[in-house]
Amino acid sequence: MPRKMALVDYKKCRPELCDSGSCAAVLACPHKLLRQESPFEVPMPAPSFCKGCAKCVVACPMKAIQIQLM
């Protein structure tokens, strides 16, 4: 059965444009499945645990995250 997962488009991701370099999508994930090693670094998803809620998609100002069926 296919499941929904968040995928980051690293060509669009620009964490330097988020407040203080802290990724807005990371802050929006209620399950804390997007991680950012340090400010201004691109976020890394944990797709195998993603619930597909799309809160990160809505929060990303660069529209760099999409929910896809896997």
- Quick: pLDDT tens for 53-67: 999 999 999 999 999
Rounded to whole angstroms, the Cα distance separating 4 from 70 reads 6
Structural domain including 17 reads 4-69
Amino acid of residue 25: A
CATH of the domain at 18: 3.30.70.20
pLDDT at 1 over 90: no
Number of folded domains that form the chain: 1
In whole angstroms, what is the distance from residue 25 CA to residue 12 CA?
13
**Tens of pLDDT, residues 4-56:** 899 999 999 999 999 999 999 999 999 999 999 999 999 998 877 899 999 99
